[in-house]
Structure formats: C-alpha cells, structure tokens
Amino acid sequence: MGNLTSNEQAAAEAAQAAPMLAQVEAWSLINSGSRNLDGLADVAALLADAFAVLPGEVSLREAASVEAVDAAGKSYSMQHGRNLHLTVRPHAPVQMLLTGHMDTVFGADHIFQTLTWLEDGVLRGPGVADMKGGIAVMLAALEAVEQSPIAAQFGYEVVINSDEEVGSPGSAALIAAAARGKRAALTYEPAALPDGTLAGARPGSGNFSFVISGKSAHAGRNPEDGRNAVVAAADLALRLTAAKGPRLSVNVAKVDGGGPNNVVPDHAVLRVNVRPATIEDQARAQSLIDGAVATVAAEHQVTIHAHGSFGRPPKPMDAKAEQLFGLVRQTGADLGQAIRWQPSGGVCDGNNVAACGVPVIDTMGVRGGKIHSMEEYLIIASLAERAALSAVTLLRLAEGA
C-alpha cells in the first residue's frame, strides 16, 4: 500500500478481514425480488441484525404510498417492502450518506435462486453483485471506520431500500431527507465494468403509463362509429420513439388492450421509459410527451390520461462530483487500485442523491458482471478491495478531504 496514515492502514486491514463472503451467501439465498414482500421482509430482518453492530439505532421504515396503473387502466396502491434506516452521530461536524438496496430483479417464482461457483474466486447467484455484495462492502467499511479514533469526527446515515430496481417510488422521500446537509454520499451499486471502473454521469429516467379511452363499435357494421384505442396507443408510441436520439432514449415497453377481432377496441395502456441526458433534455422530453398526448388525443378523438414522472433526475458530472471522484481515485492509487470512471446509460439512487446537491459516487460496490441476468456473478477478491477503498475514503472525508 502507498501513502496511507497508520489510521488508514488499520481501517483498510480491518475492512478486508470482515466476513463479507459469508454474508453475501446468506443474503443471496433469500429471494428478495422487488415485488416479493415476504422475501424482502426476511432479508430486511437479516440486514437489521447485521447493521446493529454499528452505533445508532436501526429502524425499518415503511415505504411511502405509491399509485400504480393496472392493465385495465385502473389506479391502485402499490405495496413495497420496508426500508432500513440508520443514523449515527447526527451532530458531528462532518455528515455523510451511504445507500444501497436489498431488492433484486428476480421474482419469487424466478428459476434463478441458487449460488454456483463458476471457478475459483467467482460466484454466480441472484443479487451477489447487485447488490448484496455491495451491502457487505458498505458494512465492512463502516465497522472498520468505527474502530478508528477519527470516527468521532463524522456522522452518517445509511438507507438500504427495498424498491430501487423499480425506480425507488416508495423510498425516494426517505433518501431525499437523508441526503439533506450531507458533505458527500457513497452508493454501493456494482462497478460499471468488471475491472472496477466507476459510473460517472448518468441520464435521468421517467416511467410513464398512458391510459387511452376510445369508443367500441362493430368492426364490420359500423367501424366509423368507433374510436380505436389500440391504434391511438400505437400512434403515440411511434411519435415518442421518433424523438429519440443521442440525448434522449425512448423505450416503448408494453401495450395492454384490445379484444375480439370484430370489435373496435375502446381501451389501451401504453408503458414507456424515457431517459434524458440533462435537466434541459428532461424539460424538452416532458414538453414532447405533453404535445404528443394532446395531438394523438385530438386526431384519434380519444381521451388519454398520463401517469408517471421523471423519478430519477439526470446526474451530470459537476465540479463537486469531479472533486469526489478525484479523492476516490487517489485513495485507490494509495491502495494499489487503479480507479477510473466513464458515463453510464443506467440509473440508480445516485441520481436522486445528486439531485439534492450532494456529490455522490454510486458504484462503490463489488466487481462482477452480467447483472439482471441468470449469469450474474461476483469476483470475490473485490469484496476486500472495495471495502478497503470505502473505509479509507470515509476517513479522508471525515478529516476534511
């Protein structure tokens, strides 16, 4: 190791010695898909026990009420799991935020439920990289820092939510409140690339459901009296898709609606994800959506209700973010780790933290790959690497770096 103080050296060694692999294995064997409330409750209980070793009180906070739209276009209350929250030394002069998520993309009935060693040092399993490995890294770093005489100089909040993979609708307010007044934040998504590259700038993301109501009629006798909701949905989908480009991604994800071949369909629901590169692009995208909805409704003589919003604002690389990345890069160099970063097309809770004006690095988790697939894997050596990186980074932030 390079230019480390004795306190930093001790923290790095303590973090690397933590039982992270055993934790990852135990947590990953419990299915915690975003909609599996029972599985999320089980994992939350294990995490609450694990994080109870830190000073402060661990609580499991209820998710905020979230309205969703079903395939029939009806609004209903979507339930999400409880979110882990921990506050430590809230009156210390330096305050930081650490976030992670306990949910995965693999539902309760998904066939990907087990762990497999692909080779020595590489473990495949649901959520091992995204992000139960990252949670283990976070905990190891915090335990190590708590052993340091510098620990009294800083306080922190930890939020581990249950709905990140579906956009954090039930935990966004908790994250925003926890970000208030923080000097910096670390989020434990896996590295952007298996070599440890961090994600820099990110686009924003909005999920929208357009409920289209037309008028039914007989497809043969009097089709002219009908107002085809499915055709209107297709027109809206094409108009939105035509606007995509380097600064705006538009993905038409699903269309529900229709019925018998001899009936003009009077109902459809169109689901779309929109990702703008910047806040300015987000404003233009919202204007595009509003204009397309008005035009399609008028031309097809249908009614369109738009549900949803840009839940994740764009995350640019501003001066404060550059400074934080520079600190982590230097910390990595002192630990013998080469750290670099690049833009990413993905989004995460780091977007929400950055929107609060707090510089954040949101890929402090493990090295691995093929996340969101049945080939997801974790490189075991990265547990110790990234835990040491976080521990020393936190100490340097605590000392005013």
Pair (212, 351) in one structural domain: no
- Check which CATH number belongs to the domain holding 101 and give it: 3.40.630.10
Pair (216, 282) in one structural domain: yes
In the block, tokens 């939510």 appear at 161
pLDDT digits (tens, 9 = 90+) for 3-34: 999 999 999 999 999 999 999 999 999 999 99
pLDDT digits (tens, 9 = 90+) for 337-347: 999 999 999 99
Contact yes or no for 314/202 (Cβ under 8 A): yes
Count of domains forming the chain: 2
Q: Which tokens hold the place of 141?
A: 């770093």
pLDDT at residue 93, rounded to an integer: 95
pLDDT at residue 1, rounded to an integer: 57
**Cα–Cα distance for residue pair 249/282, rounded to 1 Å:** 11
Q: Which tokens hold the place of 382?
A: 């990265």
Pair (303, 361) in one structural domain: no
Average of pLDDT values for 50-69?
Answer: 97
Q: Is 1 inside a domain boundary?
A: no
Domain closes at, from 248, 280, 312 = 312
pLDDT at residue 363, rounded to an integer: 98
Pair (130, 214) in one structural domain: no
Q: Is 322 inside a domain boundary?
A: yes
- Check which CATH number belongs to the domain holding 215 and give it: 3.30.70.360
pLDDT digits (tens, 9 = 90+) for 250-268: 999 999 999 999 999 999 9
Peptide bond into 131 cis (omega under 30): yes
Pair (386, 274) in one structural domain: no
Q: Give the pLDDT band (50/70/90) at residue 401.
A: confident
pLDDT at residue 221, rounded to an integer: 97
Pair (261, 328) in one structural domain: no
Average of pLDDT values for 126-147?
Answer: 98
Domain that holds residue 132: 6-201+315-398
Pair (225, 322) in one structural domain: no
Average of pLDDT values for 299-328?
Answer: 97
Question: Does position 142 have pLDDT exceeding 90, yes or no?
Answer: yes
Pair (347, 382) in one structural domain: yes
% of the chain at pLDDT higher than 90:
99
Average of pLDDT values for 154-177?
Answer: 98
Pair (70, 10) in one structural domain: yes
Pair (17, 159) in one structural domain: yes
pLDDT digits (tens, 9 = 90+) for 184-227: 999 999 999 999 999 999 999 999 999 999 999 999 999 999 99
Peptide bond into 374 cis (omega under 30): no
**Cα–Cα distance for residue pair 397/380, rounded to 1 Å:** 27
pLDDT at residue 400, rounded to an integer: 87
